[in-house]
Amino acid sequence: MKNPPKFLIPAVALLIIALVIVAKSAVTIGYGEAGVLFKTFSGGVDTENTLDEGFNLIAPWNNVTIYNVKQQELLERSMIVLSSNGLAITLDASVLYQPNFKKLGYLHKTRGKNYLQDVIIPAVRSATRSVVGRYTPEQLYSTKRDAIQEEIYEETKAIVEPQFVQLNAILVRDVTLPKAIKEAIERKLRQEQESLEYEFRLTKATKEAQKQIIEAQGKADANRILSASLTDKILKDKGIDATLQLASSPNSKVVIVGGKDGLPLILGNN
C-alpha cells in the first residue's frame, strides 16, 4: 500500500479543526427562546445584547446560555397567610411571568436561571402576606376578591420587575377559610340577600299603592269637574237628544212632549 501524500495529513487535520471550530461557533436557538452570550476573554456576560431565536455564530471560546422567554405559569398552591384579625387563610394563585427579553443579560448576571425560586416565588408570597393581612375573612371570601388580586399583582410587580422579570398577571384561584368561619359568612350573606329581597318587595308594594291612590285621585277630580259643568239646561238638552234618537227607532210608537222635567216621553213598542 502506498503512503498517502504528505500534504493530505495536514489537510485532514485542518479540516477536523475547522469542523470543531464551526461546531463550537454555531448556536441554534429554538422557538420562544433567547440566548445570553458569555465572552471568555472580553468582559464576561454580554448584558447589552440578547441573541434571538435561529442560527447564531459566536467565537468558539465563548458560550451561550439559553432561556425560555415565553410566558410561563407558576401555580402557588396552599399558601397559608393571616387575615387582619389573625385568622389563617389558605390561598391558591396562578402567576403568569416571563423574563424581560431586552434585559436578559442582566437577569443572567444577577440571578441566573434559578430566578423563579430566587425572585418570583419569594415576591409572590411576600406580597400575598402583605395584602391579605389588610382584609377580614369576609372580605377575602366575597366582596374584595378582585381588589385583593389586583393588589397582590401590583405589589409583586414592584418587586420582580426591577430584577428583570416581566409579570403579566396573578390570578387568585381559591380562598379557603376554616369551615366554621365559612358557614358563618354564608349565613350572613343569605340573611343580607333575604333582607334586600324583602326591601325590594316592600318598595314595590309601596309604589303600587301610591299609583292606585294617584289614579283614584285623578278619577275623583275628573268626576268633580264633570259634575260642576253639568247644568240643568245641559242635562235637558242631552235628554232631548237622547229621546229623539230613541224616537227614530222602528220600535218607538208614541212620543209625548212635555213630560216630567220638561223632557219628552216615549210610549209603546212594537
* 210, containing H or E segment: helix 179-229
Q: Among 101, 97, 87, which Cα is nearest to 140's?
A: 87
User: 102-144 pLDDT, tens per residue?
Assistant: 999 999 999 999 999 999 999 999 999 999 999 888 787 776 7
Residue 149: burial class (beta carbons within 10 Å; 0-12, 13-18, 19+) = middle
CA angle at 227 for the pair 225 and 229, rounded to the nearest 5°:
70
d(CA 248, CA 245): 5
User: 81-108 pLDDT, tens per residue?
Assistant: 888 888 888 899 999 999 999 999 999 9
User: 165-193 pLDDT, tens per residue?
Assistant: 999 999 998 888 877 675 666 666 666 66
Supply 199's cell numbers.
326591601
CATH class of the domain defined by 72-177: alpha beta
Amino acid code (one letter) for 35: G
53 alpha-carbon distance from chain centroid: 34
Sign of the torsion formed by the C-alpha atoms of 37, 39, 42 and 43: positive
When pLDDT is cut at 50, 70 and 90, the band that residue 146 belongs to is confident
3 alpha-carbon distance from chain centroid: 80
Amino acid code (one letter) for 246: L
CB of 147 within 8 A of CB of 171? no
